[in-house]
Amino acid sequence: MILMADLAHEPEALRVAMHQAVQRVLASGWYVLGAEGRAFEQQWAAACGTAHGVGVANGMDAIEIALRALGIGAGDEVITTPMTAFATVLAILRAGATPVLADIDPASALMSAESVRRCLSPRTRAILLVHLYGQLRGMSAWQALCREAGLALIEDCAQAHGAALRGQHAGSFGRAGAYSFYPTKNLGTAGDGGMLVTDDEAVADRAKRLRNYGQSERYHHPDIGLNSRLDEVHAALLLARLPWLAEFTERRRAVAAAYRAHLQHPAVRLLAPPEEAAAHANHLFVVLCDAREALQAHLQERGVQSLIHYPVPVHEQPPCRALRRDSLGLPHSERHAARCLSLPCHPQLSDTQLDQVIEAVNSFAAC
Ligand SMILES: *Cc1c(COP(=O)(O)O)cnc(C)c1O
């Protein structure tokens, strides 16, 4: 079976480095908030071009903590997309704020600025932009919209490690960026991890307090915080994996380029190509097909795994059915959710497997 992710078949040199990283932490006897975490915070912030990185327990917490560190909570509205991982919206709810859902641009599946404008209200405080599938697009327009409307721009970068638009990295465009290091993300650990990146020292300081029980100094708790720290073992594993990210991202780009060049089927459509190759981290390669279930079954028969990101838009999830949304509805999100299919696109995919996936898609007999 050609899998959507194949972490068990990563290069031997990387496996060795990961074992050494874990052994280093075990030998140190220091497991939470230490030198490994500080080193990874510094290296990942540098990779993103931001002044600060604050390691947290997962990507969802990184978003919640970013919102709370910016003083966004009860009574405040945060506009985001219903075509995302549920965690994006859950983080807004967990911060005590109110999500408002804008529709997507069908060409990219990213949030539409026109729709966002229809969602604005006097209570809007922030726009939470999701770099869905790894795509970074139209960032100067988002910055301008936030500047004009006096809103905080926050980036959900959980799928966009290594994506850069005209040399500027995901996470550095707004007040804060939130990364996840869940195992299958482009940079992942052997468990859960996350990081908030920001240029704002005050936001970083508040985030450091919030992740650690709201503690300012030992046993003093001015804030109602969380327990959300990036453990030393995960920080060490991420330090070992970071040097591989560029090569892995290049492979994802080569896979995506081959799909773009060779997928040829009248019933299978592609999303718009990236503004520039570097602006897409190719976390997922998504195609659109009216006969999606039949295509998925055909691929399965041909030994190709596929997944759907995401079959149920956020506004159709029970806790979110009453959320305010674009006054024109969310028809593009609903259409996308009914048609999107993600094909295998990961660094371990061989040329032979890549050809097999292309051949499997192109041989689909659409009814
Ligand atoms: C994975 C993901 C998250 C959540 O990250 P976790 O580390 O699993 O909490 C949030 N947003 C998006 C877009 C994601 O893909």
Question: Is 208:216 a contact under the CB 8 Å cutoff?
Answer: no
* Plot region of 251 (φ>0 → left; ψ -120 to 50 → alpha; else → beta): alpha
Q: Report the residue among 4, 56, 60 best suited for mutation to probe ligand 1: largest number of ligand atoms under 8 A from its CB.
A: 60
How many residues can be counted in the chain? 367
Q: Are 131 and 159 in contact (CB under 8 A)?
A: yes
Pocket lining: 87 vs ligand 1, CB cutoff 6 Å:
yes
Q: How much is the average pLDDT of 158-185? A: 98
DSSP assignment of 251-282: HHHHHHHHHHHH---TT-EEPPPPSSGGGB--
CA distance 215 to 210: 7
Q: Using the predicted structure, report yes or no on whether residue 17 has a pLDDT greater than 70.
A: yes
Tell me what percent of the residues of the chain surpass a pLDDT of 90: 99
For ligand 1, whether the C-beta of 314 sits within 6 Å is: no
Q: Report the C-alpha gap between 75 and 135 in whole angstroms.
A: 31
The alpha-helical segments, DSSP class H, found in 186-330 are 201-210, 232-241, 245-262, 292-301
Tell me: pLDDT of 36 over 70: yes
Q: Is 81 in the pocket of ligand 1 (CB under 6 A)?
A: no
Q: How far is the CA of 88 from the centre of ligand 1 (A)?
A: 7
For the CA of 91, the closest atom of ligand 1 is 10
Render the burial of 62-95: b for 16+ CB within 10 Å, e for the rest.
bbbbbbbbbebeeebbbbbbbbbbbbbbbbbebb
Q: Put the strands of the sheet holding 194-198 in their side by side order.
A: 52-56, 194-198, 176-180, 152-156, 124-130, 77-80, 98-101
Determine the pLDDT at residue 241. 98
Q: Give, for ligand 1, the residue of 86, 93, 110, 156 to mutate: max count of ligand atoms closer than 8 Å to Cβ.
A: 156
Q: 180 CB under 6 A from ligand 1?
A: yes
pLDDT in tens, 207-220: 999 999 999 999 99
C-alpha of residue 58 to centroid of ligand 1, in Å: 8
* 137 pLDDT above the threshold of 80: yes
| Intra-chain end-to-end CA distance of the chain, in Å | 25
Q: What is the pLDDT of residues 172-199, one digit of tens each?
A: 999 999 999 999 999 999 999 999 999 9
What are the tens digits of pLDDT across the range 248-306? Answer: 999 999 999 999 999 999 999 999 999 999 999 999 999 999 999 999 999 999 999 99
Q: Compute the average pLDDT of residues 124-140.
A: 98
CA nearest ligand 1 atom 1, residue: 158
Ordered alpha helix ranges (H), 49-180 = 59-69, 86-94, 113-119, 139-149
**Residue written as tokens 């995506």?**
256
Mean pLDDT of all residues belonging to the chain: 98
Q: Looking at residue 100, what DSSP letter applies?
A: E
pLDDT tens across 304-362, in order? 999 999 999 999 999 999 999 999 999 999 999 999 999 999 999 999 999 999 999 99
Question: Does the C-beta of 174 come closer than 6 Å to ligand 1?
Answer: no
Measured from the Cα of 131, ligand 1's closest atom is 13
Among 67, 78, 80, 88, which residue has the most ligand 1 atoms within 8 Å of its CB, making it the best to mutate?
Answer: 88
pLDDT at 352: 98
- Choice from 94, 159, 179, 286 to test ligand 1 binding pocket (greatest atom count within 8 A of CB): 159
Q: Which atom of ligand 1 is nearest to the CA of 194?
A: 7
Written as six digits, the tokens of 45 are 């912030």
Q: Give pLDDT, residue 317.
A: 98
- Residue 366 in this model has a pLDDT that exceeds 80: no
Rg of the chain in Å (alpha carbons): 20
Check residue 354 and give its pLDDT.
98
Helical residues (DSSP H) of 95-175, grouped into ranges = 113-119, 139-149
pLDDT value of position 61: 98
Decide whether any atom of ligand 1 lies within 6 Å of the 59 Cβ: yes
pLDDT at 367 over 90: no
